[in-house]
């Protein structure tokens, strides 16, 4: 394949507007409510959608990608209604789902040619050459998909989403399961794509680092409800004057956590004091000052997020000692 000039965006600077969107699976009245009256406005650039697994993020993204129809509410991408004008919206949106489902026996090049044919792209090799360069997979074009690493398969998924150079890119949990090096590589790649051609990139993730490093604005979705929409600094400020660094014991942390008297943002063993007992830890906690020895610290995005949803990192584990030994 020869390197060519990049196909132009079909259009650019397309906002996304979500108004009163609800989605119920099963019975219209008694089925599971995945989204509950969600309102959200997304402008060009990288926008983060942050939430725990099961918060409703994937459901919302599938509605935006026209794969699901909302039970009620309205979604507009640029000038088009995502329900009434689905074909027009599909021309504008590239979607990277959490699970791609590529054929393992096909090569990277064969996969992209097949997907380009399904889209009916003219001059497909021009598009394929450009997306391979964009995701740094040109040297893997002849490699079978089954032989790719997890990070490379995720980049192949992004390449298929970029076919046709759509102005809106929707990515669902793109760094989940990747090692830290691949996570950072993918974040850098998304930031570069956002800077080219005024794209709108919606990044859905439960990994706070994804949002903290490349998004200027974000929203927090929890149990189907929109809890926050604003800037990264604004979410961080929620935990202002409520964050503490505390040298304490696992037993004390467990007792307070079980009574829901504090949130645990992070927990680390003491490694720089040979006299520290195995039970002692440095805890970063959110809430009222837990002890006179706890010292105030500046909040992070993670602190603001945990404070907003009222859940500690340790709440997803069986015990704090599990967190220390992980």
pLDDT (0 to 100) of residue 101: 87
Instruction: Please report, to the nearest 10 degrees, the dihedral formed by the alpha carbons of residues 316, 317, 318, 324 taken in order.
Output: -150
Which part of the chain has CATH 3.40.50.300? 16-231
pLDDT (0 to 100) of residue 315: 45
* CATH of region 16-231, choose from 3.40.50.300, 3.40.50.1970, 3.40.50.2000, 3.40.50.720: 3.40.50.300
CA distance 74 to 319: 42
pLDDT (0 to 100) of residue 10: 58
CA distance 241 to 286: 9
Whole-angstrom CA distances from 65 to 58, 69, 140, 163 are: 10, 10, 28, 15
pLDDT (0 to 100) of residue 7: 53
Closest CA to 220 of 92, 52, 6: 52
Residue ranges in the chain whose pLDDT is less than 70: 1-12, 197, 259-261, 311-326
pLDDT (0 to 100) of residue 28: 75
* Beta carbons within 10 angstroms of residue 308's beta carbon: 16
CB of 80 within 8 A of CB of 89?
yes
pLDDT (0 to 100) of residue 311: 61
């Amino acid at each position: 394949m020869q390197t060519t000039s990049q196909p132009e965006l079909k259009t650019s600077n397309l906002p996304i507007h979500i108004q009163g969107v609800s989605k119920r699976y099963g019975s219209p009245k008694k089925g599971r409510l995945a989204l509950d009256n969600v309102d959200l406005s997304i402008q060009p650039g990288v926008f983060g959608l942050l939430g725990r697994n099961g918060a409703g993020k994937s459901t919302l993204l599938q509605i935006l990608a026209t794969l699901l129809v909302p039970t009620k509410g309205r979604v507009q991408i640029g000038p088009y209604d995502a329900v009434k004008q689905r074909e027009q919206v599909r021309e504008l949106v590239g979607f990277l789902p959490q699970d791609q489902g590529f054929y393992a026996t096909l090569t990277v090049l064969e996969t992209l040619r097949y997907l380009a044919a399904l889209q009916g792209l003219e001059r497909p090799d021009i598009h394929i050459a450009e997306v391979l360069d964009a995701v740094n997979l040109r040297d893997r074009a002849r490699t079978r998909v089954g032989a790719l690493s997890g990070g490379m398969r995720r980049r192949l998924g992004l390449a298929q989403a970029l076919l046709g150079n759509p102005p809106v890119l929707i990515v669902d949990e793109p760094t989940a399961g990747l090692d830290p090096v691949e996570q950072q590589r993918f974040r850098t790649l998304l930031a570069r794509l956002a800077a080219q051609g005024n794209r709108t990139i919606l990044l859905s993730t439960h990994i706070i680092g994804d949002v903290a490093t490349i998004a200027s604005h974000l929203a927090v979705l929890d149990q189907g409800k929109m809890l926050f929409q604003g800037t990264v600094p604004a979410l961080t400020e929620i935990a202002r004057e409520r964050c503490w660094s505390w040298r304490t014991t696992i037993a004390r942390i467990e007792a307070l956590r079980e009574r829901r008297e504090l949130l645990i943002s992070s927990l680390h063993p003491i490694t720089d004091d040979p006299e520290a007992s195995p039970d002692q830890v440095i805890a970063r906690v959110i809430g009222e000052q837990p002890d006179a020895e706890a010292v105030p610290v500046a909040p992070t995005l993670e602190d603001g997020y945990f404070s907003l949803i009222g859940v500690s990192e340790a709440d997803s584990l069986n015990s704090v000692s599990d967190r220390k030994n992980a």
